[in-house]
A and B are shown apart, each in its own frame.
Chain A
Amino acid sequence: MFFLTMIIRNAFRHKMRTILTIVGVAIAVLAFGLLRTLVGLWYLGVESSSATRLVTRNSISLVFTLPISYKDRISRVRGIEAVSWGNWFGGVYIDPKNFFPNFAVEPKSYLELYPEFVLSPDQKAAFLLDRKGAVAGRKLAAKYGWKVGDQITLKGTIFPGQWDFILRSIYRGAQKSTDETQFFFHWDYLNETLKKTVPRRADQVGYYMIGVSRPDQAAEVAVSVDRLFRNSLAETLTETEKAFQLGFVSMTEAIMIAIKIVSYVVIVIIMAVAANTMAMTARERLGEYATMKTLGFGARHIAVLVFGESVIISAVGGGMGVLLTFPAAHWIKTALSQYFPIFSVSASTVCLEMLAALIVGVVAALFPTWRGATIGIADGLRRIG
């Protein structure tokens, strides 16, 4: 009790210095938490992709297409339950900065293959019937204030022109991790328009989506599909959806790794700052430590004082950082919803944040403790006066 009082009074001897350290730790922990959340969500997105879905694309690159005629041959491969296909449309809504993913898909098979997009039965029927119909995720629709029945015009980037759609349905995600910012419409609408405007680009598919009955069949099915088209004009590459997503964003993964590293660097920096502050503090108090040792106190007591002060300061900073993480995450979710449809802080991130703060406190106390514990009494006393 006596020591706790002493530790707390010591911590607030230099109010400004302590407050700045606390704020520094809080900001570092906050940055650490947000960066970890970002990385975690990215991997969650990859992980939530299905293991029973395969994606077949042109083996050369994603920008090359496959003929629509492959559809029938693919669906005859053993183990395949469903085949759908689509094109990345890359349309822009009013302004290029309004980014959201939009695709042309074969609607019926697509919705069967992606049960996590939940449509109400009557809206689904209306969508399937309307060749110019489109579906948007709940978050996306909320963002632009779209209602079912609205006409939505996208400006094509890959497929030039103004494309008009009627919003027939708004889907919601079956799970919390389901992306609710997607937009998709009838592949036939795209294809038939192309037949009239740019015939050589018609009847081309960006990728096939394949459903297999069991995950363990995926590898075998992938090999069978690719074997079908070996030595043909457009060879295929079939991967699990997960691998496809990872490949699609392999550049992003490098960025994620960089972000991960930065999140640790932030902690290391604040560790150095806190250690320097504690060393400065302990240097000023060497005389006091020597006095206490004169009175019979030992290295153990000095260690309690230094560690206690350091850990309390970083725990307060860490606690503040954790508390700030939630409003900050909420703000990111609201302000940047097109990039981060979900941005929720996990319990493990909070634990990591507190752990990081604790490590900062302990590491910062190491050198000053050693100094205070080992200094000779006579040497320490000479520093007074």
Chain B
Amino acid sequence: MESITVKPPIVQIRNLSKSYRRGSQDIPVLMDINFDIGEGDFIALMGPSGSGKSTLLNLLAGIDKADSGQIMIGGVDITSLSETELAGWRSANIGFIFQFYNLIPVLTAFENVELPLLLTRLSRKERREHVETALRLVNLADRMDHYPSQLSGGQQQRVAIARAIITDPVILVADEPTGDLDKVSAIEILNFIDRLNHEFGKTVIMVTHDPRAAEKARLIRHLDKGVLSSG
């Protein structure tokens, strides 16, 4: 008997496989992945290009469908959810940070952060308060009315971080969040993500090529040709 007092992992991946069809050929991308993530962990997923990192991240964030296997998150098997259920589940449980920020160009920083809250029952006033808090957290309170094109890459990524945490999700997924940034901005962004993990207890799953980024993580997993290894 080992430590029974340990909380069950927040993410449990069992026998997960995914392949893409190209013409008549099946190209396996993920092969029989088994993998747990504890609540409050900060995991870096590394590996060569094309190894399936983004695919794995998308599967456990519920924006892609697996061929077989199970993904239990917080006790819910998300592979069994319908498209609509999955959309609701995502908006409540996952915060997304992308390599290219993925802000909506016609919306201001404020409106971009407000966007996920439109799917909640919050009043206009409550939304405003939440958004202002989030933007203050990423030091952008003075840039609320700027459009993405009026912000630097690092500032845009900070807006994206504010958007990712606005619904207070348990898990943050980040796909190469510093991949498009200069060194200084990259460090700044990593510090924010680190803070969200430390101070706010968010579970962070981050795909990265950058060893400096990986250093911030408590755990590094390597993916190579669809097979996961630790260390």
Flag if A288 contacts B104 (CB, 8 Å).
Answer: yes
Name the A residues within 8 Å of B90 (CB-CB).
Answer: 294-296
Chain A positions 1-47 with a Cβ under 8 Å from a chain B Cβ: 2, 6, 9-10, 13
Q: Are A292 and B87 in contact (CB under 8 A)?
A: no
The reply to whether B63 and A377 form a contact with Cβ atoms under 8 Å apart is yes
CB <8 Å contact, A2 and B64:
no
Binds A, one of B71-79, B112-120, B186-194: B112-120
Measured between beta carbons, the chain B residues less than 8 angstroms from A9 are: 106-107
Evaluate contact between A381 and B119: CB separation under 8 angstroms: no
Q: How many A-B residue pairs have CB under 8 A?
A: 63
- Please count how many residues in chain A sit with their CB below 8 Å of the partner chain's CB atoms: 21
Q: A2-B111, A2-B118 are in contact. Are A298 and B63 (CB under 8 A)?
A: no
CB <8 Å contact, A295 and B100:
no
**A377 near B98 (CB under 8 angstroms)?**
no
- Is A160's CB within 8 Å of the partner chain B? no
Shortest A10–chain B CB gap in Å is 6
The reply to whether B106 and A298 contact each other, CB–CB distance below 8 Å, is no
Which residue in chain B gives the minimum CB-CB distance to A299? B83
| Cross-chain contact of B64 among A288, A292, A378 (Cβ < 8 A) | A378
Please measure, in the bound complex, the distance between the C-alpha atom of A2 and the C-alpha atom of B104, giving whole angstroms: 13
Decide yes or no whether A297 CB sits under 8 A from chain B.
yes
Residue contact A296 to B88, C-beta cutoff 8 Å: yes
Q: B205 → chain A, closest Cβ, in Å?
A: 15
B contact residues around A294 at 8 Å (CB): 61, 63, 90, 96, 102
Q: Is B133 interfacial (CB-CB < 8 Å)?
A: no
Mask of B45-64 contacts with A, CB within 8 angstroms, 1/0? 00000000001001001011
Q: Please state if B106 and A287 are interface contacts (CB–CB under 8 Å).
A: no
Contact with B119, one of A13, A296, A376, A384 (Cβ below 8 angstroms): A296
SS class of chain A's interface: helix, strand, loop or mixed?
helix
The minimal Cβ–Cβ distance linking A200 to chain B, given in whole angstroms, is 83
Residues of chain A within 8 A (CB-CB) of B61 are 294
A298 and B64 alpha carbons, distance in the complex (Å): 15
Chain A residues within 8 Å of B88, by CB: 296
CB closest chain-A residue, reference B176 = A385
Whether a CB of chain B sits under 8 angstroms from the CB of A291 is yes
CB 8 Å contact bits of A281-319 with B (1 = contact, 0 = none): 000000110011111111000000000000000000000
Given the known inter-chain contacts A6-B106, A10-B106, A288-B104, please indicate yes or no for A295 contacting B115, CB distance below 8 A. yes
Which residue of B105, B106, B116 contacts A295 across the interface (Cβ within 8 Å)?
B116
Q: Do B100 and A292 touch (CB < 8 A)?
A: no
Quick one: which of B92, B102, B115 contacts A384, CB cutoff 8 A?
B102
Closest to A382 in B: B54
| B91 close to A (CB within 8 Å) | yes
Binary per-residue interface labels of chain A (91-117) against chain B in the complex, 1 for a CB within 8 Å, 0 otherwise: 000000000000000000000000000
User: For the complex, what is the distance from the CA of A381 to the CA of B97, rounded to whole Å?
Assistant: 12
CB A182 to nearest CB in B, in angstroms, measures 61
B residues less than 8 Å from A384 (CB atoms): 98, 100, 102
The 0/1 profile, CB within 8 Å of A marked 1, for residues 118-143 of chain B is 11000000000000000000000000
Asked whether, in the complex, the Cβ of A287 is within 8 Å of the Cβ of B116, the reply is: no
Are A291 and B87 interface neighbours, CB within 8 A? Answer: no
Interface residues of A in 335-385 (CB under 8 A from B): 376-378, 381, 384-385
B84 at the A interface (CB under 8 A): yes
Determine the residue in chain A with the shortest Cβ distance to B58. A378
- The answer to whether B185 has its CB under 8 Å from any CB of chain A is no
Q: Is B34 an interface residue (CB 8 A)?
A: no
- Nearest-Cβ distance from residue B37 to partner chain A, whole angstroms: 20
On whether the beta carbons of A381 and B63 are closer than 8 Å, the reply is yes
Query: B197 on the interface (CB 8 Å rule)?
Result: no
Q: Are B98 and A381 in contact (CB under 8 A)?
A: yes
Whether the Cβ atoms of B91 and A295 lie closer than 8 Å is: yes
- Tell me which residues across on chain A come within 8 A of B111, comparing CB atoms: 2
- 12 A-B residue pairs with Cβ-Cβ distance under 8 Å, sorted by A, are A6-B104, A6-B107, A288-B105, A291-B102, A292-B104, A294-B61, A294-B96, A294-B102, A295-B115, A377-B58, A381-B63, A381-B98
Given contacts A296-B91, A381-B63, A381-B102, 16 further A-B contacts (CB under 8 A): A2-B111, A2-B114, A13-B105, A292-B104, A293-B63, A295-B90, A295-B96, A295-B163, A297-B87, A298-B87, A377-B63, A378-B55, A381-B98, A384-B98, A384-B100, A385-B99
